[in-house]
Amino acid sequence: MSTLTHLDASGAARMVDVSEKPATDREATAQAIITLSPEAYDAALSGNAKKGDVLGAARIAGIMAAKKTADLIPLCHPIALTKAVVEFEPLADRHAIRILATARTTGPTGVEMEALTAASIAALTIYDMVKAVDRAARIDGVQLLAKSGGKSGAYRASALDEKEPIATRLAKARAKPSTLMGALAAPRAEAPTPAQREMFRAFMTSHGLRASIWAKDAGVSPALVYAFLTGKASSIPADAAQKLARVAKVRVEDMYK
């Protein structure tokens, strides 16, 4: 059994002396999952929560937390991070959001705690942003997914699909947060501008439409609407747009004016 490096010979807590360890490239990725009510999930992804942009605030909070880890965890070394990334993967089937946090440095000690802290604080920030809607939101699944560099070498959580590297999962979270969102075809020949996306959001607000309810009434996956609203997809598929317009009793083009 390995000894605990944060305890000295007498059992007292200590900060590990890393002065003799070589500087190597190190990276770690961690996750946290927050499960929400349908209403809170809708608010978090729509960007229309009472407190503002839920995921935007959570992303900044996670990055800040990674940089402040040594101030929060007593025996962690202050680390000069070269990278801190927080991404979100909507899990529409369970009204949950999976947070993926990655930290990187070149130095004598690893960044596992930075990644774990970033994921945890991002999840707590989501909770804070939506607690007025859902105080029963649950945070779990906080876990180190992978790390590289250092004497101990690479590590991957056993539950992960070995055929899909963490970098690939992060890329998918950025470009296509959920398989339910799919590859989306535009309802117009050209991709809508950010202004048109905002007009679509304004249309929903003016007509009192909630993404999850509107999509359900139209027989459309809510994830298609969320993906467009959050900028993860360039547009809504033409057939889905037609169904949404039919329920709202407008023309498709009216939803973008």
Residues 152 and 129: their CA atoms lie apart, in Å, by 38
Task: Confirm if 44 and 125 have CB atoms less than 8 A apart.
Answer: no
Report residue 106's pLDDT band, with 50, 70 and 90 as the boundaries.
very high
In this prediction, residue 149 carries a pLDDT of 87
Instruction: Please name every residue paired with 101 in a beta bridge, in sequence order, or none if there are none.
Output: 30, 86
* Residue 128 annotated to the active site: yes
| Beta bridge mates, 86 | 101
Looking at residue 164, what DSSP letter applies?
S
Dist. CA 150–CA 63, nearest whole Å: 23
Q: Compute CA distances 119 → 32, 61, 134, 141, 223, whole Å.
A: 5, 9, 20, 10, 23
Q: Long-range CB contacts (< 8 A, 24+ apart) of 76-80? A: 76/113, 77/15, 77/16, 77/18, 77/109, 79/105, 79/107, 79/109, 79/111, 79/114, 80/105, 80/107
User: Given 128, 140, 239, 254, which residue is catalytic?
Assistant: 128
- Convert the pLDDT of each residue in 215-248 to its tens digit: 888 888 888 888 888 777 778 888 888 889 999 9
Across all residues in the chain, what is the average pLDDT? Answer: 81
- Please answer whether residues 138 and 95 qualify as being in contact, where contact means their C-beta atoms are separated by less than 8 angstroms: no
The answer, as to whether pTM is greater than 0.85, is no
Does residue 178 surpass a pLDDT of 90? no
More confident residue, 201 or 36: 36
